[in-house]
Amino acid sequence: MSVAHDSTVIVGAQWGDEGKGKIVDFLADKADVVVRFNGGNNAGHTVKADGKTFKLHIIPSGVVRKKLIVIANGMVVDPEVLLEEIGMLKEMGYEPNLAISEKAHVIMHYHKLFDSGSDKNGKIGTTGRGIGPAYSDKAKRTEALRVIDLVSGGFRAKMEKILEDKKGELLKFGIVRSAEEFKEYKTAIAEEYENYADSLRPYVSNTAVLINDALDSGKNVLFEGAQGTLLDVDHGTYPYVTSSSTCAGGVCTGAGIGPGKIKKVIGVTKAYTTRVGEGPFPTELKGKEGDVLREAGSEYGTTTGRPRRCGWLDLVVLKYAKMVNGLTGLAVTKLDVLSGLEKIKICIAYEIDGKRTEHFPSSAEALEKAKPVYVEMRGWDKWNEREAEEIVKKGVKGLPENARKYLEFIETHVGVPISIVSIGPGRDETIVV
């Protein structure tokens, strides 16, 4: 019989890059297990702890707390990148207590080449990491390899059959140019991935059983999402989305748990808005205002290094994220970035074709036409390091009055309580409300 457990899902409430890594690291202190349930190494979480900076792409942020960490079945795994990340953590003194789902799908060498070649004009803004092609093969069912295939004895035969089916694509993309090169490519890929398998085999298990056993025995499980709500393949700004389910519902299929086992869903949002890559962005600030936010917030992608597009906070987006995720709380990050601004704007509605709406539109074309309706609020002075320490000691009451008003406006308008406020990148610069 199962006993009472605690489980929290952390999702991005915007277009990703909201600071989920820091929030997961902060909450992982009281967790027993941290599970990543979607995406691949197209995500990037930065954690600052113990005087070190950790840039993680596949392994959940809870690894820095030395917890049991799980790469669940909803992910796609690049073995090369994963092993590099494990090596990096070991060098920094963190031996990962890691479990990899045998049902997770494998990103193959050719997936990365197909990905880079299929988005030459940057229409979607892919990271080129092979994520989309790997998920496409997963959906096709007949051309995919899972981790269980990688670590079992039948890997080479399955891989060679798939490569025969993909021979035309390999020729089209110039990966091979002759029958001899194709033969050499098959051999090279088989040997490369068999070497990966030898290194990863000790970590592989049936993680759905592991996760459910942890929940049923009363443990605290933290589920870490990648990207954000508006990059969800079903509910995001399609087609400018990722290839996985980034919303809270993705936990059930991506980790193998029933919806009744989810206790809390926290949406992470910046105090402003950013997005990377192509696609509509109603509150985007082009020019000096956007540059100020970008530099103050060091808004450059962890995975790609690309400068992020920056804009004012969009409450239409947050209300939408509340709806599709069933948010029970908000974590607001980078409040410090807005410090020192004289005026701050918040979008509360859109005007599309002359009509006002507070509902997020379904089509990218409609969103492209959306003109933000703003409320303007007064800013507050910058705080220094010593003042930040005092703010954390006092809690929300220690914040400048206008910063408190800003948070209260968000909370009231979205209809979700703010449970965490981050006023800087470090663990100790975090307020629990």
Residues with Cβ < 8 Å from 404, sequence gap 6 or more?
Answer: 396, 397
H helix or E strand, kind and range, residue 344? strand 343-352
144 vs 142: CA distance, rounded Å: 6
H helix or E strand, kind and range, residue 355? strand 355-357
Whether the CB-CB separation of 244 and 233 falls below 8 Å is answered with yes
Look up 45 and say whether it is catalytic.
yes
Alpha helices in 281-400 (DSSP H): 288-296, 315-325, 364-368, 385-394
Q: Which amino acid is at 60?
A: P
29: DSSP letter: G
Give the DSSP letter string of 38-98.
SB-TT--EEEEETTEEEEESSS-GGGGGT-EEEE-TTBEE-HHHHHHHHHHHHHTT---EE
125 vs 241: CA distance, rounded Å: 9
Whether the CB-CB separation of 169 and 114 falls below 8 Å is answered with yes
143 vs 136: CA distance, rounded Å: 9
Tokens 């009509």 found at = 355
290 vs 271: CA distance, rounded Å: 14
Q: Which of 406, 204, 419 is nearest to 315 (CA)?
A: 406
Pairing of strands 68-71, 97-101: parallel
Whether the CB-CB separation of 30 and 7 falls below 8 Å is answered with no
Count CB atoms within 10 A of the CB of residue 105: 23
363 phi-psi bin (left φ>0, alpha ψ -120 to 50, beta other): beta
Three-class DSSP category at 384: coil
- Considering the candidates 45, 57, 111, 235, report the single residue annotated as catalytic: 45
Look up 359 and say whether it is catalytic.
no
Q: Which of 433, 426, 432, 431 is nearest to 25 (CA)?
A: 426
- The set of catalytic residues is 17, 45
